[in-house]
């Protein structure tokens, strides 16, 4: 329980440190000329696409797809969304247990010390209930961090360790959640 409070405090610390970065030089109001130079609208070169995928085959079969789209709000701050599909089949049961899980999430990432990542994400997944077959939505609020490494040009790979702060037995992943992914800047 203390770990949850620590992680929540860490998230708020990142949020407040980002707010301090909003101060203007000399506390002056922005002029129209300065504003026009900064606001160029949507820029395709700030879009990043990528995601996570995984597979396991055998008595327990899992196929996981997680495409992601992000937009660089600042040089070290990305916000975006992702879709999730997870197929799970467990042959230890008769008949075999099969579940198709799908959903989406919104996330934000802050890069610091060049290659390190602070990550927060809110996820909603639609899960098949094991007992009576009904489908239900489960929420996850994930926080954590990781490491990002440039592969070359605009592409990178990352590894993150995340913790779900919402304790829900129907959530398909257990803490800690380890993600390995990739991304390409357009």
Average pLDDT, the chain: 81
Q: Is residue 20 part of a domain?
A: no
Note the pLDDT tens digit of each residue in 71-128: 999 989 999 999 999 999 989 988 888 899 999 999 999 999 989 999 999 999 999 8
Q: Is residue 44 part of a domain?
A: no
- Higher-scoring residue by pLDDT: 100, 41: 100
Instruction: Please tell me which of 8-22, 45-59, 108-122 the model is most confident about, judged by mean pLDDT.
Output: 108-122
Q: Is residue 91 part of a domain?
A: yes
**CB 166 within 8 Å of CB 151:** no
Which residues are CB-contacts of 178 (< 8 A; sequence separation ≥ 6)?
A: 159, 160, 161, 162
Strand intervals (E) in the chain: 47-56, 60-74, 77-90, 97-112, 116-128, 135-152, 155-164, 177-185
Q: Is residue 38 part of a domain?
A: no
Mean pLDDT of 9-21: 35
Predicted confidence at residue 38, as pLDDT, reads 59
Predicted confidence at residue 39, as pLDDT, reads 57
Predicted confidence at residue 123, as pLDDT, reads 96
Predicted confidence at residue 70, as pLDDT, reads 95
Q: Is residue 158 part of a domain?
A: yes
Mean pLDDT of 150-170: 90
Q: Is residue 25 part of a domain?
A: no
pTM score over 0.85 = no
Give the residue numbers spanning the domain of 178.
2-14+52-185
Total domains in the chain come to: 1
Model confidence at 6, pLDDT cuts 50, 70, 90, reads: very low
């Amino acid at each position: 329980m203390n770990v949850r409070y620590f992680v929540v405090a860490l998230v708020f610390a990142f949020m407040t440190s980002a707010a301090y970065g909003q101060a203007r030089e000399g506390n002056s109001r922005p002029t129209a000329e300065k504003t026009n130079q900064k606001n160029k609208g949507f820029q395709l070169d700030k879009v990043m696409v990528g995601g996570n995928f995984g597979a396991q085959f055998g008595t327990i079969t899992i196929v996981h797809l997680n495409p992601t789209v992000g937009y660089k709000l600042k040089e070290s701050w990305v916000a975006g969304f992702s879709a999730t599909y997870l197929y799970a089949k467990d042959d230890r049961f008769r008949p075999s247990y099969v579940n198709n899980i799908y959903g989406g999430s919104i996330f934000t990432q802050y890069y610091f010390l060049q290659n390190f990542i602070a990550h927060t994400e809110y996820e909603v997944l639609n899960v098949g209930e094991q007992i009576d077959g009904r489908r239900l939505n489960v929420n996850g609020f994930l926080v954590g961090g990781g490491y990002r490494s440039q592969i070359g040009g605009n592409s990178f790979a990352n590894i993150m360790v995340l913790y779900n702060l919402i304790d829900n037995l129907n959530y398909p992943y257990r803490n800690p959640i380890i993600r390995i992914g990739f991304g390409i800047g357009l």
